[in-house]
């Protein structure tokens, strides 16, 4: 399948880079070096995004204000720390297709997932089930299972795990629909990844939300692999909540403060149960230090603690770049770049008659995936990936047999993809 007119030679990659309107953004990031001092082919932005060169200056500003102002920095820093997280609200809302009142940056991903479930997973004797993907990211599995047990239910009767049909790697939309159709009355919460971390499959979030709501189920998404990757329209699609981390496609640095979306329809639901902390308290009276919690309207009302300003400073450096590049342009390039990667990999399968040496498990349709392709390598995969690592390729290996790589439109080039596939083909040759 080559709808884009891709060609297999390196000159094609060079020509594509030359006319890529986003090519200069690569210069804004720091690429890790190989042992020999060369630049790595970094295709691991789905695991840890690269550092924006401006991050150091954004951090330095906060360190300087802290040095000069001490505690006064909360109100008098160049960007006062008390409302610092709000500097990210507009950009975050734009990024995920939400209204400002629907988003906040706070905590880390798994913490936010728990906070959302505390408010939105309210099981009853009749409606207590949670629907998840089988083999969801471990942290999500632990969070969901512990919530079920916390409420006194057991996994055997309250957890529904969706598995691909025998012989298939990805879920079909109809499977999700039919579970909702069959068990909707008993389902309290549907919680899916926007993009599955292992297969790279993107779900029809609008469709799942519609089907779930039609049966009175709460719908939430883990967007760890979707934020900064897909063009999201959370407000319009209408899930009740969504959570994501900021260190993958969003380049906020290891352990960066995460993101959270609560749909506007819940913005003033004061009687919704929640776990509270002082940063979620009405900001006008927060520093009166009264004994009774009064939540801020919207997503901000779920904050617990004052956030790490240093961490948010890095996220601002990255989000300023995202704002300028624009998610629509990034996604347009991403569809091309990942299709090009797929094209070159398929060329290997055709030319080298090595059709059983690997397969791509990620869906072929661009609207069913993001940047990432997951390559299943049934034999010697681990050794092959170690060889690639020694030869300057950064991707990531998941036991037992999957190599995940993501050309990221913000800083990866067509030549990165070309070089990777060249070395990948060489590595396969070694195993033959």
Tokens of 267: 């913005």
The least CB distance from residue 108 to ligand PLP, in Å, is: 5
Residues numbered 124 to 153 that lie near ligand PLP (CB under 6 A) are 137, 139-140
Determine if 208 is a binding residue for ligand PLP (CB under 6 A).
Answer: no
> What's the burial of 272, exposed, middle or buried (CB within 10 Å: 0-12/13-18/19+)?
middle
User: With b meaning 16 or more CB within 10 Å and e meaning fewer, what string describes 381-392?
Assistant: beebbebbeebb
Q: Which is nearer to ligand PLP, 139 or 183 (CB)?
A: 139
Interface with ligand PLP (CB under 6 A), residue from 51, 110, 303, 374: 110
Determine if 245 is a binding residue for ligand PLP (CB under 6 A).
Answer: yes
Determine if 108 is a binding residue for ligand PLP (CB under 6 A).
Answer: yes
The least CB distance from residue 362 to ligand PLP, in Å, is: 15
Q: Give the residue among 310, 249, 279, 320 at the shortest CA–CA distance from 94.
A: 320
DSSP 32: P
Determine if 402 is a binding residue for ligand PLP (CB under 6 A).
Answer: no
Stretch that binds ligand PLP, among 102-110, 311-319, 325-333, 337-345 (CB under 6 A): 102-110
- Cβ(188)–Cβ(121) below 8 Å: yes
Helix/strand/coil for 193? strand
Interface with ligand PLP (CB under 6 A), residue from 205, 211, 224, 384: 224
Interface with ligand PLP (CB under 6 A), residue from 45, 49, 123, 193: 193
| CA dihedral sign of residues 136, 141, 145, 148 | negative
Q: Give the residue among 401, 350, 317 at the shortest CA–CA distance from 25.
A: 317
The least CB distance from residue 247 to ligand PLP, in Å, is: 7
Tell me the CB-side half-sphere exposure of residue 259, using CA atoms within 13 A. Answer: 38
The least CB distance from residue 288 to ligand PLP, in Å, is: 33
Stretch that binds ligand PLP, among 76-84, 222-230, 271-279, 314-322 (CB under 6 A): 222-230
Q: Which is nearer to ligand PLP, 244 or 343 (CB)?
A: 244
Q: Which is nearer to ligand PLP, 197 or 279 (CB)?
A: 197
Tokens of 171: 């879920």
Size of the site for ligand PLP (CB under 6 A): 12
- Cβ(28)–Cβ(53) below 8 Å: yes
Chain residues binding ligand PLP by CB under 6 A are 108-110, 137, 139-140, 193, 197, 222, 224-225, 245
């Amino acid at each position: 399948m080559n709808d884009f007119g891709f060609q297999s030679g390196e000159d094609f990659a060079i020509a594509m880079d030359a006319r890529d309107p986003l090519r200069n953004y690569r210069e804004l990031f720091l690429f890790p070096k190989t042992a020999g001092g060369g630049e790595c082919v970094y295709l691991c932005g789905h695991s840890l995004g690269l550092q924006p060169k401006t991050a150091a200056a954004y951090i330095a500003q906060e360190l300087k204000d802290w040095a000069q102002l001490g505690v006064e920095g909360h109100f008098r820093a160049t960007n006062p720390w008390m409302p610092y997280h709000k500097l990210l609200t507009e950009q975050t809302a734009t990024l995920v297709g939400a209204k400002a009142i629907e988003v906040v940056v706070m905590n880390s991903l798994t913490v936010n997932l728990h906070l959302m479930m505390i408010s939105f997973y309210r099981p009853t004797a009749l409606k207590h089930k949670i629907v998840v993907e089988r083999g969801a990211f471990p942290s999500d599995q632990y969070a969901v299972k512990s919530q079920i047990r916390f409420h006194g239910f057991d996994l055997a009767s309250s957890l529904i795990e969706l598995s691909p049909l025998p012989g298939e790697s990805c879920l079909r939309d109809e499977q999700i629909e039919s579970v909702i159709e069959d068990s909707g009355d008993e389902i309290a919460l549907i919680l899916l990844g926007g993009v599955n971390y292992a297969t790279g499959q993107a779900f029809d979030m609008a469709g799942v939300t519609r089907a779930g709501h039609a049966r009175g189920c709460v719908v939430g998404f883990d967007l760890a692999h979707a934020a900064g990757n897909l063009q999201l329209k959370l407000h319009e699609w209408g899930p009740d909540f969504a959570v994501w981390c900021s260190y993958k496609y969003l380049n906020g640095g290891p352990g960066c403060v995460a993101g959270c979306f609560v749909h506007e329809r819940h913005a003033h639901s004061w009687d919704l149960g929640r776990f509270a902390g002082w940063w979620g308290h009405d900001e006008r009276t927060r520093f009166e230090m009264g004994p009774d919690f009064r939540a801020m309207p919207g997503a901000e009302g779920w904050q617990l603690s004052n956030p790490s300003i240093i961490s948010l400073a890095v996220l601002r450096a990255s989000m300023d770049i995202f704002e300028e590049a624009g998610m629509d342009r990034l996604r347009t390039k991403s569809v091309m770049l990942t299709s090009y990667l797929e094209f070159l990999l398929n060329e290997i399968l055709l030319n080298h008659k090595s059709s059983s040496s690997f397969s791509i498990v990620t869906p072929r349709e661009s609207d069913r995936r993001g940047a990432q392709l997951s390559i299943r390598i049934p034999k010697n995969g681990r050794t092959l990936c170690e060889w690639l690592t020694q030869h300057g390729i950064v991707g990531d290996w998941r036991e037992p047999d999957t190599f995940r790589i993501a050309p990221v439109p913000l800083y990866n080039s067509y030549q990165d993809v070309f070089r990777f596939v060249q070395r990948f083909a060489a590595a396969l040759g070694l195993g033959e």
